[in-house]
């Protein structure tokens, strides 16, 4: 059942309230986004859950975005993204073996309120084919068929992670004998190998010592993180790309 996301709480700062209102406005203008009731049973219900959104990407894949306020202040929110090929797979709580996989996608714009970060995440998932060009794990998810998703628990930067049904089945069986009972052959009767590589060979064939590095040489300076103005302008460009010109203008005004 469609519903509304939480846009205001007593302990939220004004910028958090505005960001959640911005998220709600963006979602209502997207015909491939559906705001769900957080208490509808689609995800495990908890008082920290402030939004559940279903999205359909350009690739035809479906996503479920859940946002939780971890400390009731709006300053520490977590985002959970799950994907499936069928929308109906996301209309029920996740169970082991379901054709649903988690996507390890997190916004890097930690300086912005949760609503602003969610807007960027929503726009990226709606344009998932374009986003997959720079985020390989999303491309792996798009390429996976439904049968394969049943055996995958999460897509990460390191690759797909299996969905372990019973972790205990991977435990090693108990040993029938104690380690002390193993008998290893002694080395008293072993003859020295005349061709064995020794420490003397290491010293003889070692490369020449390198000259010391000049301590006065300037170390490379790390790149500065993007400023809030740059982040807002980037979000404005993404909003303009999908036709949300008034949202883009609002973001540029904030910058």
Tens digit of pLDDT for each residue in 152-209? Answer: 888 888 888 887 554 443 343 444 444 444 454 454 555 555 555 566 666 666 666 6
pLDDT at residue 217 is higher than 60: no
Tokens 């798009």, residue located: 142
CA atoms within 13 A on the CB side of 190: 6
Q: How far is residue 34 from each of residues 18, 135, 148, measured CA to CA in Å? A: 20, 24, 26
Query: Within 10 Å of residue 232's Cβ, how many Cβ atoms?
Result: 20
The reported pLDDT for the residue numbered 122 is 92
Residues β-bridged to residue 156: 159
Least confident stretch, 40-44, 98-102, 199-203:
199-203
Select the more confidently predicted residue: 50 or 169.
50
SS3 214: coil
**CA pair distance 4, 36, nearest whole angstrom:** 7
pLDDT at residue 138 is higher than 60: yes
Mean pLDDT highest for which of 138-142, 159-163, 250-254?
138-142
pLDDT-derived band at 127, boundaries 50, 70, 90: very high
Instruction: Please list, in sequence order, all residues whose beta carbon lies within 8 angstroms of the beta carbon of residue 175, skipping any fewer than 6 positions away.
Output: none
List the one residue out of 31, 88, 93, 87 whose CA is nearest residue 66.
93
Q: What share of the chain is helix, strand, coil (3-state, %, to 5)?
A: 35, 15, 50
pLDDT at residue 126 is higher than 80: yes
pLDDT-derived band at 43, boundaries 50, 70, 90: confident
Whether the CB-CB separation of 146 and 60 falls below 8 Å is answered with: no
The reported pLDDT for the residue numbered 145 is 87
Average pLDDT over residues 27-56: 83
Mean pLDDT (the chain) is 76
**CA pair distance 184, 235, nearest whole angstrom:** 65
Measured N-to-C along each axis, helices 114-126 and 14-28 cross at an angle, to the nearest 10 degrees, of 20
Query: Within 10 Å of residue 213's Cβ, how many Cβ atoms?
Result: 7
Select the more confidently predicted residue: 157 or 223.
157
């Amino acid at each position: 059942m469609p519903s509304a996301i939480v846009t205001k709480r007593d302990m939220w700062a004004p910028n958090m309230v505005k960001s959640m209102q911005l998220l709600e406005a963006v979602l209502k203008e997207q015909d491939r986004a559906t705001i769900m009731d957080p208490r509808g049973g689609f995800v495990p219900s908890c008082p920290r859950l402030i939004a559940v959104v279903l999205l359909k990407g350009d690739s035809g894949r479906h996503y479920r975005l859940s946002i939780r306020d971890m400390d009731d202040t709006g300053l520490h929110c977590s985002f959970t993204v799950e994907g499936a090929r069928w929308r109906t797979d996301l209309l029920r709580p996740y169970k082991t073996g379901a054709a649903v996989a988690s996507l390890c996608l997190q916004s890097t714009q930690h300086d912005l309120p949760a609503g602003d970060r969610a807007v960027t995440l929503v726009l990226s998932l709606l344009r998932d084919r374009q986003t997959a060009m720079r985020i390989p794990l999303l491309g792996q998810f798009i390429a996976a068929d439904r049968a394969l998703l049943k055996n995958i628990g999460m897509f990460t930067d390191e690759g797909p992670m299996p969905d372990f049904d019973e972790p205990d089945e991977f435990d090693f069986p108990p040993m029938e004998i104690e380690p002390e009972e193993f008998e290893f052959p002694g080395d008293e009767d072993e003859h020295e190998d005349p061709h064995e590589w020794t420490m003397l060979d290491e010293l003889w064939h070692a490369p020449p010592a390198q000259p010391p590095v000049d301590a006065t040489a300037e170390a490379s300076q790390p790149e500065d993180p993007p400023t809030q103005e740059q982040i807002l302008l980037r979000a404005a460009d993404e909003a303009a790309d999908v036709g949300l010109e008034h949202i883009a203008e609002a973001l540029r005004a904030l910058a």
